[in-house]
Amino acid sequence: MRSIQQWLVAGLLLLSAVNTAAQTPASKPKIVVGMMVDQMRWDYLYRYSARYGNGGFKRLLREGFKCEQTYINYAPTVTACGHTSVYTGSSPAVHGIVDNDWYSRELQRGVYCTEDSTETTVGAEGKAGNMSPRNLLVSTVTDELRLATNFRSKVVGVALKDRASILPAGHTANAAFWYDGKSGNFISSTYYMKALPDWAQRFNAQQLPVKYLAKGWETLYPLNSYVQSDADNKDYEKSFGHEKAPVFPHTFTGRESNGIRTTPYGNTLTFAFAKAAIEGYSLGAGTETDFLAVSFSSPDAVGHQFGPNSIEEEDLYLRLDKDLEEFFTYLDKRFGKGNYLYFITADHGVSQSPGFLEEHKLPTGLLDADALVKDINTAIAAQFGIAKGVVAVSAYQLYLDHDAFADRKIPLQPVIELVIRKLKATPGIADAVSLPELGTAALHEPLRTMLINGYNKQRGGDVILLMQAGWKDGGRSGATHGLWYPYDAHIPLVWMGWGIKPGKTYRTTGMTDIAPTVAALLNIQVPSGNIGQVVWELFK
């Protein structure tokens, strides 16, 4: 009898130990999955929530920690700057990625943020892979993870856009992959590898873009049930080139592999490749924490073409929700629920289309930047004798031809003053400021700090123009972003998984707080240019 009792006690102790071990979180996550949704405004978490499923965005809101007031703390609010700032904890003033493209005074031409003529394409013909992160001046949190583990941790970047994969993955990544619309392949660069891994070649061989596009794009639900959107056919939406009107159903030839960027299938394709990369590199299977930096580019393409109040936008997010639920299920099965750290955020938001704003009597207008620069150059030529005083415009910054003025011994200050006067007299421009004098300019907060954070002395211009809210450079159709206003700068930030308790904060947090928070969770060094602060509420 005593022997039986001893066995029962031993069994209960063993069961208790097993249960305790099961309830004790691992000392570190198997993998960090950083997910960025290009052009996702904060309100999209809630705007379409009535029709979200329980396992996608609603799971995030239910199980995650929500930073409800996360803002971009610099301008311009564009893709390259956003992806870089999230992963560096820094701003363009420090990390050097001042726009998607900028003007190089040294080269006297435009420079693309990730261009690199010393590297070549891997996985296709052409120059789409002549890329690297070498224009990035500081380290990323993904770099710091590699450094902290003596490069045992693996880091992989995945996106349709090259810059959205390359910049988050950092300088020391094992790999970064992006989509080449010409070939329909995910490709890379000789910066990372000499040839695509076998698993990536097999993935490309499936020709998924052609198969997805052959289905066409119809709404998930009856068209009249999309109550969060405007009518289907609006003249301020842009049509696909082969269509007469921007209306459902959208059909494709199946050969337009680049067109997948402007459909929800671009998200589905990205999720599929992300899963293939996890398995191909055995991410999360080693002794160290690995990192998958994945970005979804299609929401940006759809938002630009149709606008944020379109049925296309609503349908895309309803489909993204389903893809996200499937991805969470995959992560749960592969790593175990609670064994991966996940965060979701965006690189920027978006404004409403000017046509939509006009229709609903909201402030808006159109600016013709090309005509404006031509007019300014005419004035400069008349007063100073320089034919083309403004040589480039990038991120709303005007670049003067320093060499031309120096050769004529003309000081820049009176030229800058002329440019500012012309800009301030232009409808739709709220203000114009000399960039070197931002520190003393009569600007309110947070605008002053945002402009200072966005100005890099080596890569920046001479004068910045500040457009009025709701105004857009170009035509009344489609939508854009890039300004300091909340519609462009208020982004989602939700954490979930390893080490995260459900909750929320309404304290103002910044895009640059993400990298130092990841670093704190992983007990590693912050990136070299970090200016952000830890979201301390996660650690309560």
Asked if residue 490 lies in contact with residue 41, where contact means CB atoms within 8 angstroms, the answer is yes
Q: Does the active-site annotation cover 79?
A: yes
Q: Rounded to whole angstroms, what are the CA distances from 11 to 6, 15, 271?
A: 9, 6, 44
Q: Rounded to whole angstroms, what are the CA distances from 531 to 87, 90, 517, 527?
A: 12, 5, 12, 9
Residue 441, CA atoms < 13 Å, CB-side half-sphere: 24
- Nearest-angstrom CA–CA distance, 502 and 62: 7
Q: Which of 23, 49, 69, 78 is nearest to 338 (CA)?
A: 23
User: 365-367 and 121-122: which strand pairing?
Assistant: unpaired
* Residue 43 one-letter amino acid: D
Residues making up the annotated binding site for substrate are 100, 161-163
Q: Tell me how long the chain is.
A: 540
Which residue's structure tokens are 């094992």? Answer: 174
Sign, Cα dihedral of 414, 415, 420, 422: positive
Give me the catalytic one of 20, 24, 70, 79. 79
Bridge partners (DSSP) listed for residue 295: 36
- Nearest-angstrom CA–CA distance, 160 and 387: 40
Residues making up the annotated binding site are 100, 161-163
Sign, Cα dihedral of 403, 97, 158, 347: negative
Asked if residue 534 lies in contact with residue 517, where contact means CB atoms within 8 angstroms, the answer is yes
Which residues are catalytic, by number? 79
